[in-house]
Amino acid sequence: MNKPINKTHAWKKLASHYRWHKNDEMKDLFAKDKTRSSKYTINLGNLYLDYSKNKINEKTIRYLLDLTKEVKLKEKIEAMFSGAKINQTENRSVLHVALRNRSNTPIYVDGQDIMPDINGVLNKIKKFTEAVRFGDFRGATGKKLTNIVNIGIGGSDLGPFMATAALKEYWAKDMKCYFISNIDGSACEDVFAEVDPETTLFVVVSKTFTTIETLTNAHTCRKWLVDALGEPAVAKHFVAVSTNAEEVSKFGINTDNMFEFWNFVGGRYSMWSAVGLSIALMIGMDNFEKMLDGAHEMDMHFKNTDFEHNIPVILALLGVWYNNFFGYREQGIIPYDQDLRFLPKYLQQLDMESNGKSVDLNNNFIKYETGPILFGGAGTDVQHSFFQLLHQGTKIVPLDLIVPAISHNEIGEHHEILIANALAQGEALMRGKTVKEAAEELTKAGKSKEEVNRLKKYKSFAGNRPTNTIIIRKVDPYMLGMLVAMYEHKVFVQGIIWNINSFDQMGVELGKQMALSILPELQGHAHIEHDSSTGNLIAIIKKIRK
């Protein structure tokens, strides 16, 4: 049984250290140490993490590293990579790392090496994607399938959606990709308006093939296809990513076109598996494998590098430092790249579904903060939405600024302006602007003394707001793999420190269960007692719908 983290010796040292250093100014730390930037920069190939703009010193890092010893982080990492059943509540191994195990070293679950099965599915994906892309697997009327529609929800949607958008520069030139996840019928209709049934391939992603949102959308798409091309067309226009061959067959999908994945892969970690079929279809298997290669390089870095120079570990420790000691409950992810605009949405699920927990592994309710609220968006767009709060608001939000050094579209000065904005935000959030500096600036601009006194506080910035800057060479499959794996391991480390299971998601169940009881009432088939508010809302909606 693990001791509560807030009762450990390392935690108490950090609490004392925080009290002494919570008011340290980062700009003073830079002034005192000209080597600070190089001291707090780590790289792995063409991925660089500069974490010097944080409220830390050498003792902070030392005490945070002591925390990893108290929670036996090294042993927990080894346990995950070895196939131990670290998902305790569901008694499962956690082996998304096996899906991109490019060195192909044996990994055992219940005494069986799982790598042959994983390689078998990858080979099956390769054959199928090549058949579709080269026109050997065609639709019912003989036309090439050029519209890929992924039907899933949660991890069966967010990962493929994010990755295909991020890697749009690598799409087959004659193919397009669409995603249906929301149960709102508009999600289906929007896609139907864009695609031709003769050239459309639907990829239905559901492990059990019973997920109500996914199967409702899949049946709507099936009807649309059958109305246009007839019942036999289903086998030529639908494939499944699932483990339930019986239900897949009942739907009309040829089980030869069913792609398997496993219980040791959680939904939000599944885009590396057959769940990534739509990614492979769009970018080609060679590029999909490069994405796996990049993730594997980050896996090996995480597993084998000392924690002081370990990128995911450092990111995780900084997050704990702010979340649990400074009380900064939010985390911002700001990619300065249009193609990465959906990365924050993807990471929301990865982080908040993994570590949004209030019961520890000792089966006790937790009395300290766990996972942060994560949000973000693409720079420079978000500079004109929520950055006002980040610079001058009363809440302090640590940020990750993700900056590709090279753009796929180097048009004029666009990318240099984009990079300048990214670097300026980090510097401005750290340096700020004092009231005195604001007054001097206003005076130089020719403002009267009265105007200076009136405006100087409004024009001041507190500064001392932390950022990590993550430089990558370019958004390509390899680098995307590294980047996503980096965040996966960061989330894992924080879960270990908070002594929670990062790999179940029981919090999504209650609302779904209650929806199933409300549905018959909306349809007029049943009546169940609810609280007065819910009962009244059901009545209002039924009245309007009549």
The residues annotated with a catalytic role in the active site are 353, 384, 512
H/E element holding 400?
strand 399-404
330-335 and 399-404 as β-strands: parallel, antiparallel, unpaired?
Answer: parallel
Backbone torsions φ then ψ of 12, nearest 5 degrees: -65, -40
- Supply the DSSP symbol for 433: B
Backbone torsions φ then ψ of 332, nearest 5 degrees: -105, 140
Q: Is the peptide bond before 380 cis (omega within 30 degrees of 0)?
A: yes
Cβ 495 vs Cβ 354: under 8 Å:
yes
Which amino acid appears at position 258 of this protein? M
| 39 CB-near residues (< 8 Å, 6+ apart) | 33, 52
Q: For Cα atoms 61, 64, 66, give the angle at the middle one, nearest 5 degrees.
A: 110
Task: Please state, in angstroms and rounded to a whole number, the distance separating the CA atoms of residues 15 and 216.
Answer: 51
Residue 439, Cβ neighbours under 10 Å: how many? 19
Longest dimension (CA), the chain: 81
Cβ 463 vs Cβ 433: under 8 Å:
yes
SS3 category, 402? strand
**Residue 17, token pair as written in the block:** 């250290």
Which amino acid appears at position 136 of this protein? D
Task: Please state, in angstroms and rounded to a whole number, the distance separating the CA atoms of residues 546 and 541.
Answer: 9
Task: Please state, in angstroms and rounded to a whole number, the distance separating the CA atoms of residues 219 and 17.
Answer: 58
Strand segments, DSSP code E, in 26-164 are 41-44, 47-50, 108-109, 112-113, 147-151
Which amino acid appears at position 30 of this protein? F
Residue 443, Cβ neighbours under 10 Å: how many? 14
Give the closest residue to 525 by CA, choosing from 534, 516, 533, 537. Answer: 516
Give the closest residue to 354 by CA, choosing from 54, 83, 86. Answer: 86
- Supply the DSSP symbol for 361: T
Its sign, for the CA torsion 63, 64, 67, 72, is: negative
Backbone region of residue 85 per phi and psi (left: phi > 0; alpha: psi in -120 to 50; beta: other values): beta
Q: How far is CA 422 from the centre of its chain?
A: 21
